[in-house]
Structure formats: structure tokens, C-alpha cells
Amino acid sequence: MASQRKVAFITGANRGIGLETARGLAALGYAVALGCRDEEKGRAAAEELKAGGAADVEVVRCDVADIAGHDAVVRRLEERYGRLDALVNNAGIMVDPGDFSAGGLDTTLTVSMETLRRTFDVNFFAVVALTRSLLPLLRKSPAGRIVNLSSVLASLTLHANPKSPIYHMKAFAYDASKTALNAFTVHLAHELRDTPIKVNSAHPGWVQTELGGKAAPMPLDEGGKTSVQLATLPEDGPTGGFFHLGEPLPW
């Protein structure tokens, strides 16, 4: 059954930045499908959104790392909505050992190959696979939008600059996986350049989430703003870019 509302699917949407992105899109009148590994937590998040006024929210079980399960996600979204107007690839992990709070970290020679592979499986390979699977639904939208949740820590330009604020913050597995994700953004935007679909990477900011920690300067309720902006770009908006709150970031 096709939805009369614009439809957004957000992975990792039961908490943190994903939930705030869902809240922001729901406030704009979108039907929001919450992609969640844990359906019970997803239902709790959906009830929270509905209590806040969201009119059309549902939970879709989605473990992004379970690539074999992506077909079931596609079928559910197709049956329920008939198309997809915005895909927000929000789910991700950071499992590099160490603590940035000491003022610096470089895991390049210490992070295990297992951690590298696990990080890339979730932050890169799963995103590529899920996006490919959902492209037929995005093509049914008159103005499809794809948002890949990246990080300023993906910026090779800033990592190579001794004067940049992230110069000493080198969580190799996480950073490299997000740099690869940015490459996917650029390549996919080129592939889709003659379509209405726009593809961009988002740096949400250093947000007070379970991942960001309490020391982060950005409150949680602002963490979804960049993703919402990129998911709702107008026809003349950018594609193939890397942004934080409307400002471009260096690759």
C-alpha cells in the first residue's frame, strides 16, 4: 500500500542520533520506518515518537550486518509503503580500543584485524549492500535522498594537518571505515547523477550519545539535524558532498 506521506527508513533508529533523526523527519510529516536490531527497543522508541506527536511510525527489524536479511527489509518496506523517499544509513559501530579523553589516540599498529573487519562489515560493507537492495524503492520516489552517516574523523585532509583539531585522534578502524563510506557517497552520487536521487555524507557533530560520551559539546537533541537536512534537500540541493549543518567538510 503506497503511503500518501513521504517515507523515510533509518537504520539504528531506536536510540541516539538515529532516533533524533526519526523525530525530526516525523515532525516534518514523514512516515518513518525505524530500522532496529532489537524489535522491543524499537517499539519503545516508536511509542516515544508517537507520544511526541509522530503520526506514522513503525518498526522494521533490521540488523544491517545480516546481509542475508536485507531482502526481508526490502519486502516489508515495499509492501507497507511502495517506495522510499529517504534512506538514512545511520547504524554504525566504533570498537577501536582506547580513550580519546587522554588527548590523543592512534590505534594504527595496535587495532586487531578482527576489529578492522568487524568495523568495516558494519560501517561500510553493510551500508553498500543495504543501499543497493533499497535502490529500486528509492527510484520510485520523485526525489529520493540517501544520507550516509559519516564523521569528521573520516577526513583525510584534517588527519594529515598537524594543526587540525582531530590530528591526534586516530581510531584507525573507525576512521578508515568512514573514509571508505565517504568514497561510496562520491561514487554512488556519480552513478546516480542523471536521476533525481541525491547522495551525501553527514557529520552529525560530536554528540552526547553512548558513542560520543558525556564530554561531547553537542546535546543529543541536535544530533539529527544534519541528517534531516540532507534527507529533505530541495531539487537544487547538492549531491556527492560531505556536510555538517549545511557547511561542507574537507574530504
* Cβ-based neighbour number of residue 110 at 10 Å: 12
> How far apart are the C-alpha atoms of 128 and 121, rounded to whole Å?
10
CA 168 vs CA 65, 101, 107, 161, 177: distances in Å: 30, 11, 11, 10, 18
Q: Residue ranges of the chain with pLDDT lower than 50? A: 212-213, 216
Q: What is the pLDDT of residue 15?
A: 92
Q: Which residues are catalytic?
A: 174
Give start and end residues of each alpha helix (H) in 170-224. Answer: 172-191
> How far apart are the C-alpha atoms of 107 and 169, rounded to whole Å?
9
Is the whole-model pTM more than 0.75? yes
Q: What is the pLDDT of residue 104?
A: 76
Domains of the chain in sequence order: 7-95+125-154+178-248 (3.40.50.720)
**pLDDT tens readout for residues 144-165:** 999 999 999 999 999 999 999 9
Q: What is the pLDDT of residue 55?
A: 87
